[in-house]
Amino acid sequence: MSTREEPANLGKVLSFLREWDRGDRTVRGRMLNTFLSQHKGKSFCELECEFAQVSSLFLARLTTWMRLTYMFGTCLGLQLSAIGIFLSASGHDQYLVEFLEDGGVLTLLDVLSHTQSREEDKADALRLLLTVSNAGRKYKEIICESHGVKVIADCLDRSNTEEAQETVGALLESLSHGNPKYQNQIYKSLITLMACSSPRAQQLVLHTLHIVQSRTKATHHSIVEPLLNMLRSLHLEVQDEAVTLILGLKCYDVRSALLSGLVALLRPINKEAKQHQSAEEAETITIMTGSLPVFVQQAAAAKAIRLLAEEDEKVSRELLSLGAIQHLLCALGNREHTDAQIQASLALEHFVRSFPVIEEHVQKVMGNTLFAAFMHQAETLYMNLDETQAEILLTNEVNISAALDGD
Reported as a pLDDT band with limits 50, 70 and 90, residue 402 is low
- Report the 10 Å Cβ neighbour count for 328: 31
pLDDT by residue (tens digit) across 318-355?
999 999 999 999 999 999 999 999 999 999 999 999 99
Name the residue range of residue 234's domain.
222-268+288-406
Higher pLDDT, 352 or 287: 352
Q: Quick check: pTM over 0.75?
A: yes
pLDDT for the residue numbered 275: 44
Instruction: Identify the weakest region by mean pLDDT among 5-9, 90-94, 107-111, 340-344.
Output: 5-9
What's the structural domain count of the chain?
Answer: 1
Reported as a pLDDT band with limits 50, 70 and 90, residue 273 is very low
Question: What is the rounded CA–CA span in Å between residue 97 and residue 63?
Answer: 12
Contacts of 12 (CB under 8 A, 6+ apart): 1, 2, 52
Residue 256 included in any domain? yes
Question: What is the rounded CA–CA span in Å between residue 262 and residue 345?
Answer: 16
Contacts of 156 (CB under 8 A, 6+ apart): 164, 165, 168, 169, 193, 196, 201, 204, 205
pLDDT for the residue numbered 198: 92
Reported as a pLDDT band with limits 50, 70 and 90, residue 116 is very high
pLDDT for the residue numbered 399: 87
pLDDT score of 407 more than 60 = no
Reported as a pLDDT band with limits 50, 70 and 90, residue 270 is low
Residue 379 included in any domain? yes
Angle (CA) 166 168 169, round 5° = 65
Q: Are the beta carbons of 199 and 156 closer than 8 angstroms?
A: no
From residue 387, alpha-carbon distances to 10, 44, 321, 327 in Å are 89, 75, 29, 18
Residue 253 included in any domain? yes
Residue 164 included in any domain? no
> How large is the average pLDDT for residues 197-225?
92
Residue 365 included in any domain? yes
Residue 330 included in any domain? yes
Reported as a pLDDT band with limits 50, 70 and 90, residue 8 is low
Question: What is the rounded CA–CA span in Å between residue 140 and residue 182?
Answer: 9
pLDDT by residue (tens digit) across 12-24?
999 999 999 999 9
Residue 44 included in any domain? no
Residue 388 included in any domain? yes
CATH of residue 231's domain is 1.25.10
pLDDT by residue (tens digit) across 48-67?
999 999 999 999 999 999 99
